[in-house]
């Protein structure tokens, strides 16, 4: 967490990352286009382990002239998340776009991969997915103190 804060400048002194969500995706699994909501705004940082994936971005369904468009027509581009990479999504990309991961077992790299030139892969490459674990690291204003919560349900030893 400290290294993310120091090396990226993405979090400020008062918004240090204090929340980590662990997700596991088997090949063929993904996550529907969604927004992360106000609770974590304006920064989400994600570490990708075990396998690459492709993170897709979509115009928000609330955008003018977007409500009649299909999901595919709202797709504005994607980012290849390589194994052991860190990605930051901030500000307008966080607020005014949805993000998701398609439910496919293999990704064919197309022109829509915005960071293709910064990877070792080429257009048209087919990358079979393996099991991916993502660590989604964010700042949340109010966290629950788990030791206090546990003590509500029974005698809690210090
Ligand atoms: O696994 C990922 O990279 C994305 C996860 C995500 O978008 C979420 O949990 O809200
Ligand atoms: Fe998300």
Per-residue pLDDT of 51-97, as tens digits, reads 999 999 999 877 676 678 888 899 999 999 999 999 999 888 888 89
36 CA: nearest ligand 1 atom: 10
Q: Residue 117 Cα, ligand 1 centroid: separation in angstroms? A: 24
Domains along the chain?
A: 1-140 (2.60.120.1520)
Q: Record the pTM.
A: 0.86
25 CA: nearest ligand 1 atom: 1
What is the secondary structure of 97-155 as a DSSP string?
Answer: EEEEE---SEEE--TTBTTGGGSS--TT-EEE---EEEEEEE--SS---HHHHHHHTS-
pLDDT in tens, 87-125: 999 888 888 899 999 999 999 999 999 999 999 999 999
Adjacent-strand bridge partners of 113: 78
User: Which residues are CB-neighbours of 20 under 8 A, at least 6 positions away?
Assistant: 1, 135, 136, 137, 138
Note the ipTM here: 0.98
């Amino acid at each position: 967490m400290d290294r993310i804060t120091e090396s990226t400048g993405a979090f400020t002194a008062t918004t240090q990352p204090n929340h980590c969500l662990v997700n596991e995706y088997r090949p063929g699994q993904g996550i529907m286009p969604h927004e992360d909501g106000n609770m974590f705004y304006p920064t989400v940082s994600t570490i990708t382990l075990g396998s690459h994936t492709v993170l897709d971005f979509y115009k928000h369904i609330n955008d003018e002239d977007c409500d009649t468009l299909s999901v595919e027509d709202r797709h504005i581009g994607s980012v290849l998340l390589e194994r052991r990479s860190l990605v930051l999504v901030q500000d307008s990309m966080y607020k005014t776009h949805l993000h998701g991961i398609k439910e496919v077992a293999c990704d064919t790299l197309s022109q829509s991969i915005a960071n293709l030139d910064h990877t070792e892969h080429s257009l048209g490459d087919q990358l079979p997915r393996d099991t991916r674990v993502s660590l989604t690291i964010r700042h949340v204003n109010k966290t629950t103190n788990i030791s206090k919560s546990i003590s509500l349900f029974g005698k809690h030893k210090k």
